[in-house]
């Protein structure tokens, strides 16, 4: 079996409402979808995205440039294709748009390989779990009023979620503490509550406010500092009883290794596109397992549910439905878990009508 054709689609997917955090403000997910076909009629897919049409154009150009490294090759050799692309990218480096473009192609290739074997990707990778714990992430934004926070937290619970993430990092940290207090009181002690600062604090603020937040039994405190400040993050993690989660903004498993060496976080959350796809995510998860460190995920629910299901140290999945409209049957949530699709590959198929509707 050979990869016979690769089609690249550039899309602009409107978000349900503008996303405002301590570090950004966006209305669309500008997405590059890879549709990878074989001479046997199988189709695999992957995607990468940016916030901003100009950036997405750059991603699409890089994907196009890398396509020849997969065309005409056997999808079962996904690791070899990843290695070839890694070498080809050496001159421009293994970060930024280069890694994101690599991720879309690598993920599509793994999807194809598992489809050819007739197995869900999680099973193809040796996993046995059919569902993974998940938290609702598409809401509880920084600009919400307290009434909006409480109403959406209740909606998430009604949808079957048992873990929720809210964004903090307002100009006055006392507001953050009050908002977290109100949400915790509303959802009760049995719901896991995660908070994400989106790199909005300095070290002193993170330690001071983090200690105040310890009273609310948080599941984790995410990205309290700018992602490059690993030494500061290590000091924050050492100072708090609330687990610190980070790693989503790092590129490649080598960056994850640096987190582990410094004990910069209690939970690592590699991002599929910044790891370079399935291959890079698996490397990062294996590194974390060797250091007895749990691993979570960042976005890319459709692929990440398989990767966490196949990782012994897979902890909890970020459920982000922004891309669900691309698929005919996206993964579903039940009783605090995302059910890992039991169909071959990623178990999700692109919807042609969605590709046309969002095309730019």
135-173 residues labelled b (16+ CB within 10 A) or e (exposed): bbbbbbbbebeeeebbebbeebbeebbbbbbbbbbbeeb
Which helix (H) or strand (E) segment holds residue 267: the answer is strand 267-268
Q: Give residue 337's pLDDT band: very low, low, confident or very high (50, 70, 90).
A: very high
Which residues are bridge partners to 37 per DSSP? 5, 43
- Tens digits of per-residue pLDDT, 86-130? 999 999 999 999 999 999 999 999 999 999 999 999 999 999 999
Q: What is the pTM of this model?
A: 0.96
- The token pair that represents 186 in the structure block: 């509303």
Query: What does the pLDDT average to over 252-277?
Result: 97
Residue 132 predicted with pLDDT over 90 = yes
The CATH number of the structural domain formed by 123-339 is 3.20.20.120
Tens of pLDDT, residue by residue over 204-221, are 999 999 999 999 999 999
Q: How far apart are the C-alpha atoms of 64 and 169, rounded to whole Å?
A: 38
Residue 22: the pLDDT is 65
CB atoms within 10 A of CB 352: 10
Residue extent(s) of CATH 3.20.20.120 domains in the chain: 123-339
3-118+351-358: CATH topology: Enolase-like; domain 1 (3.30.390)
- Residues forming CATH 3.30.390.10 domain(s) in the chain: 3-118+351-358
Taking the C-alpha atoms of residue 337 and residue 192, their distance in angstroms, rounded to an integer, is 13
Residue 64 pLDDT greater than 80, yes or no: yes
What was the pLDDT predicted at 19? 82
Query: What contacts 41, CB < 8 A, 6 or more positions away?
Result: none
Whole-number pLDDT of residue 21: 73
């Amino acid at each position: 079996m050979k990869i016979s054709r690769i089609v690249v689609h550039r899309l602009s997917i409107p978000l349900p409402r503008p996303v405002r955090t301590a570090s950004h403000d966006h209305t669309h997910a500008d997405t590059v979808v890879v549709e990878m076909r074989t001479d046997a009629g199988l189709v695999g897919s992957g995607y990468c995205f940016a916030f901003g049409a100009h950036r997405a154009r750059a991603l699409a150009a890089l994907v196009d440039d890398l396509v020849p490294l997969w065309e005409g090759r056997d999808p079962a050799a996904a690791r070899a294709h990843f290695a070839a692309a890694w070498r080809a990218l050496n001159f421009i480096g293994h970060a930024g748009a280069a890694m994101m473009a690599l991720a879309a192609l690598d993920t599509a290739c793994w999807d194809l390989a598992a489809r050819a074997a007739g197995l869900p990707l999680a099973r193809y990778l040796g996993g046995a779990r059919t569902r993974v714990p998940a938290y609702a992430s598409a809401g509880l934004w920084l600009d919400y009023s307290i009434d909006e926070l409480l109403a959406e937290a209740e909606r998430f619970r009604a949808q079957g979620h048992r873990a929720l993430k809210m964004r903090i990092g307002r100009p006055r940290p006392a507001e953050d503490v009050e908002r977290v207090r109100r949400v915790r009181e509303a959802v009760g002690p049995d719901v896991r509550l995660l908070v994400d600062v989106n790199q909005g604090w300095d070290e002193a603020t993170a330690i001071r406010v983090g200690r105040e937040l310890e009273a609310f039994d948080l599941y984790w405190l995410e990205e309290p500092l700018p992602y490059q400040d690993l030494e500061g993050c290590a000091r924050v993690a050492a100072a708090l009883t609330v687990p610190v989660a980070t790693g989503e903004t790092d590129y490649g498993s080598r960056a994850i290794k640096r987190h582990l060496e410094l004990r910069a976080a209690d939970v690592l959350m590699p991002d599929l596109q910044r790891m370079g796809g399935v291959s890079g995510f698996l490397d990062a998860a294996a590194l974390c397992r060797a250091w007895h460190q749990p691993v979570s995920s960042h976005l890319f629910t459709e692929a990440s549910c398989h990767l966490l299901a196949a990782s012994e140290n897979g902890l909890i999945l970020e459920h982000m439905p922004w891309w669900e409209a691309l698929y005919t049957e996206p993964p579903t949530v039940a009783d605090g878990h995302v059910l890992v699709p039991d169909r071959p590959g990623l178990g999700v198929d692109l919807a042609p009508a969605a590709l046309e509707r969002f095309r730019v």
